[in-house]
Chain A
Amino acid sequence: MNADTLAFRTCPTTGLKVHRPAEVLIQINAVTAIVFLLVGGIMGLFMALTRWQTVHLLNEEWFYRLLTLHGIAMLVAWIIFFEMAILYFASAILLNSRLAAPWAGWVQYVLMLVGGAIVTVEVLMGRADVMFTSYVPLAASHWYYLGIILFAVGAIVGCVVFFATLMVAKHEKTYEGSVPLVTFGAAAAAIIAIITLAHGAITFVPTWLWALGLIPMMDAEVYRLLFWGFGHSSQQINVCAMVSVWYLLGTLTTGSKPINEKVSRSAFALYILFICIASEHHLLVDPGLSAAHKTWNTGYFMHLAVLASMIHAYSVPAAVEVALRKKGYTKGLFEWLKKAPWGDPAFSSLALSLVGFGFLGGISGVVYGTEQLNIISHNTLRIPGHFHATVVAGTTLAFMGVTYYVLPLIFRREVAFKGIAKWQPYVYGLSLYAFCTAMMFAGGFGVSRRQWDMTGVDAPFQVNFGPVVDLTMAVVGISGVLCVVGGAMYVLVAVGTLLVGKKINA
C-alpha cells in the first residue's frame, strides 16, 4: 500500500474519494458542535422556564448569566463548529481532494475549542454578565474578550484551509469544470465569514486592550456599529451555509438537480455583495445615523439580499418538485408534494427549515428592519422571535437534517433510534413555529427581550401587561420546553448512533 491509498477511502454510497484526515476533522468539529448544542439547549430550557412568568424558575443573576451562555453556546459555538465541518466537507470531500493542510485544520479546532472553553468558564464564574452583545462600557473580564478573539481566529484559519483546499483541488485537477453548487455556496459563506471576522477583530481587540487597562474605551455607539458588523454578519454566514445545505439536502433526499446553476450562483453572489451592509438595521433607533443613511442601507441594499433569498425560495423547492415528478408523481398539481419522503428526517428538516426561515424569519426580519417599524420592535421580544425563526427553525434545523446523512457517510454508522429520528424534525420545527410566533406576538405588546421579570417586581413602579400577554408568555414557555425536547431527541439520535449505531463496512 502506498501513502495515497492509506490517506483515502472510497465511499460505497456516493463513490466519492474521502480524505481521512479531512474526515476526522469533520467528525471532531461536528461532535463538538453537538456538545455545545446540548449545553445551549439546557440553558434554553432554563430561559423558557424563567420567562414563563408563572414558573419563573431562576433568580435574576443566574437568568442573565445563563442567557449570556445560551447566546454564545448556540449562536457562536454550535453553529460555527458545525460550519467548519461543512466547509471541510464541501471542499475536500465534494471535490475528491485532499484537505490542504490538516495540521492547520487542527489549529482551527484547538483555537476554537480553547476560546469557547474560556468564554464558557468566564460566563459561568460570573465574570461576564454582559449578554452576547457585550456593549461597552458594560464590562466583562479581559479573559472573556480574549476567548472570543481566539475563537474568531480559529474560524478564520478554518476558512483559509477551505480556500487553500479549493486551490489544491483545482491545481491537482480532482474535478472537471466548475465546483459543485454546494461548494460554491460554502465559498460564499466563507467569504462572508472573512468579512464578519474582520469586524470581530476590530471590535474585540480594542475592547480586550481596554479591559486590560491599556487603552481608553471606544465610543459606545462606534462599538455598536462595529459589533453588528460582526454580530449580524455572522448570521449571514449561517444563511449562506444553510441555503447550501438546502441544496445538498434536496439532492440527498430526492436526487434533485439545481434548475438553473446560473440563477442560484448569482443569488449567492448577491448575498456576498449586499447582505452584510444590512447589519446596520440594529442601529435604526440609535443616535448617530441620518435617516438617508438608514433608509439607504437597510432599504435598497437589504432588499437586494432579500431578492437572493426569494430566488432560493423558488429554486430549492422547484428542484425538489422536478426530481419527484421525474419519479412519476405527476398526477395533479400536488401529487409530488404528497408523495415526498416525509418520513425521511432529512427531508422533513429541509421542508420545515425552508418554511420557518422564509415565512417566519425572513418576513419578520424585513418588516422589523424598516426605519419606522423598528421603533415598535427594537429590543422587544419581536427580535428574538425573529431570529429564533431564522437561526433555529432555519439554520439549526437544516444542520440537524444534514446530520442524518453525515452519520452514515462520514461516521459510517447506521442512524440509531430511527423512530425517534423520524419525528424529531416535526417536534423541533413545529414547536419552534409556535415559540417564535408567540414571542413576536408578545413583543408586539412591548414585552422586552433579555428581561428577567416584566412585572416591575422590586421596581418603583409596577407594569401590568394583562392576561393576553400572560397567556402568550405561557405559550412561549411551553413551546420552548417542547423545542428543548426536540433538540434532546436530536442529541439522543446523534450520540446514540455514535455509541450503538450499526457499523457500515465498506
Chain B
Amino acid sequence: MSISSPDRNWWDTPVHKEERLWIILALTWSILLTLAMPWWHVTGEQNTSQAYSKMTAVEFDKATDRFIDKYKVGEEQGTPVVAPPADSDIYLRARQFSWDPILKLKANSSYKLHLSSGDVNHGFSVFPININFEVVPGWDNLLVVTPTKAGEYTIICNEFCGIGHHTMIGKIYVES
C-alpha cells in the first residue's frame, strides 16, 4: 500500500523486466531529445537571439530617433514609416501602447532588428506568421531577420503591459 510503510527490503526488490524495459525506453528517448536540442540549434534556420546587450531606454530612444530621421519615407496614422537599406541596423521601439516606427523591408534581404522597450515589458508577435519574442526595458534583443514573403504583417503586443494592452498593434511592410 502506498499509505503504509513498505517492506524492510524495499531497496533490494528487483525491478520487474517490463518496468525496466519501459525505463530504458524512456531514458533513451530523453537522451535523444537532449541531443536534438543543440543539433536543432546548429542546423535550424530559425533561432533565438544570440546578440543581445544591455541598453538604457535613453540610449535606445536616441538610436531609434536617429534611425527614423535617416530613413523616413512617410507617415501612417501618425507613426513614421521607415525604409532602411538591406543589411542595416533597424530599430523597433515598444511603448505603452504603440510600436514605432512602421518598417518597410525588402523580401530576401537581411536586417539587424533591435527590439527594446521604453517603459515596461512588451511582447513582439508577428501576425500571421506567429513569431514571438520578449521585449524587455534595459535590454536590446537583437535578431537577424530575413523576410522571405512580401506582404503586410501586423505586430501584436502579447505581453500584458497595462489596460490598453490590446490596442498596441504595429505594422511591417515587406516588398518584393
What is the distance, in angstroms, from A97's C-beta to the closest C-beta of chain B? 13
Contact B6 A259 (CB under 8 A): no
CB contacts (< 8 Å) of B138 on chain A: these are 219-221
Contact B26 A307 (CB under 8 A): yes
CB contacts (< 8 Å) of B121 on chain A: these are 135, 138, 220, 224
Contact B163 A64 (CB under 8 A): yes
Contact B3 A180 (CB under 8 A): yes
Q: Is B141 an interface residue (CB 8 A)?
A: yes
Interface centre among A252, A284, A286 (most CB of B within 10 A): A286
Contact A446 B5 (CB under 8 A): no
Determine the distance from Cα of A230 to Cα of B16 in the docked complex, in whole angstroms: 38
* Residue among A138, A295, A375, A465 making CB contact with B120, cutoff 8 Å: A138
Contact A180 B6 (CB under 8 A): yes
Determine the distance from Cα of A49 to Cα of B134 in the docked complex, in whole angstroms: 28
Determine the distance from Cα of A6 to Cα of B138 in the docked complex, in whole angstroms: 62
Q: Is A21 an interface residue (CB 8 A)?
A: no
- Give 1 or 0 for each of B145-176: 1 = CB within 8 Å of chain A CB: 00000000010111111111111111100000
Contact A260 B15 (CB under 8 A): yes
Determine the distance from Cα of A64 to Cα of B120 in the docked complex, in whole angstroms: 16
Contact A371 B15 (CB under 8 A): no
Q: Is A390 an interface residue (CB 8 A)?
A: no
Contact B33 A303 (CB under 8 A): yes
Query: With A220-B137, A261-B6, A262-B13 in contact, is A307–B131 under 8 Å at CB?
Result: no
CB contacts (< 8 Å) of B140 on chain A: these are 287
- Give 1 or 0 for each of B39-67: 1 = CB within 8 Å of chain A CB: 01100101111101100000000000000
- Give 1 or 0 for each of A277-313: 1 = CB within 8 Å of chain B CB: 0000001111110110011001110011011001100
Contact B163 A463 (CB under 8 A): no
CB contacts (< 8 Å) of B126 on chain A: these are 446
Comparing A101-109, A331-339, A448-456, the segment that makes contact with chain B is A448-456
- In chain A, positions 205-229 with a C-beta closer than 8 Å to chain B are 219-221, 224
Interface centre among A259, A261, A284, A446 (most CB of B within 10 A): A446
Determine the distance from Cα of A376 to Cα of B50 in the docked complex, in whole angstroms: 17
Chain A residue total in the interface (Cβ 8 A): 90
Query: With A138-B161, A372-B40, A375-B46 in contact, is A460–B125 under 8 Å at CB?
Result: no
Contact A459 B167 (CB under 8 A): yes
Contact A262 B15 (CB under 8 A): yes
CB contacts (< 8 Å) of A377 on chain B: these are 132
CB contacts (< 8 Å) of A310 on chain B: these are 22-23, 26, 29-30
Q: Is A241 an interface residue (CB 8 A)?
A: no
Contact B134 A285 (CB under 8 A): yes
- In chain A, positions 91-140 with a C-beta closer than 8 Å to chain B are 94, 129-131, 133, 135, 137-138
What is the distance, in angstroms, from B36's C-beta to the closest C-beta of chain A? 8
- In chain B, positions 3-46 with a C-beta closer than 8 Å to chain A are 3-8, 10-11, 13, 15-16, 19, 22-23, 26-27, 29-31, 33-34, 37-38, 40-41, 44, 46
CB contacts (< 8 Å) of B158 on chain A: these are 378-380, 448-451
- Give 1 or 0 for each of A373-389: 1 = CB within 8 Å of chain B CB: 01111111000000000
Q: Is A182 an interface residue (CB 8 A)?
A: yes
Contact A303 B30 (CB under 8 A): yes
Contact B132 A261 (CB under 8 A): no
Q: Is A257 an interface residue (CB 8 A)?
A: yes
Contact A375 B131 (CB under 8 A): yes
Comparing A22-30, A34-42, A243-251, the segment that makes contact with chain B is A243-251
Which residue of the partner chain B has the closest CB to A267?
B23
Contact B34 A257 (CB under 8 A): no
* Residue among B8, B38, B157, B171 making CB contact with A177, cutoff 8 Å: B8
Contact B2 A251 (CB under 8 A): yes
Contact B156 A371 (CB under 8 A): no
Contact A291 B6 (CB under 8 A): no
What is the distance, in angstroms, from B18's C-beta to the closest C-beta of chain A? 8
Determine the distance from Cα of A448 to Cα of B169 in the docked complex, in whole angstroms: 12
> Contacts A252-B3, A258-B6, A372-B47 given; 7 further ones with Cβ under 8 A?
A135-B120, A262-B15, A285-B48, A371-B47, A379-B123, A448-B157, A458-B166
Sorted from nearest, which 6 A-B pairs have the closest CB atoms? Answer: A287-B52, A446-B130, A299-B37, A448-B158, A310-B26, A303-B30
Q: Which residues of A contact B (CB under 8 A)?
A: 14, 60-61, 64, 94, 129-131, 133, 135, 137-138, 175-182, 219-221, 224, 247-248, 250-252, 255-263, 283-288, 290-291, 294-295, 298-300, 303-304, 306-307, 310-311, 314-315, 318-319, 366, 370-372, 374-380, 444-446, 448-454, 456-461, 463, 465
Some 24 contacts from A to B, beta carbons below 8 A apart, are A64-B163, A180-B5, A180-B6, A224-B136, A259-B19, A263-B15, A283-B134, A287-B49, A291-B50, A295-B38, A298-B37, A311-B22, A315-B19, A370-B40, A375-B132, A378-B123, A446-B127, A446-B130, A450-B158, A456-B169, A460-B77, A460-B78, A460-B169, A463-B154
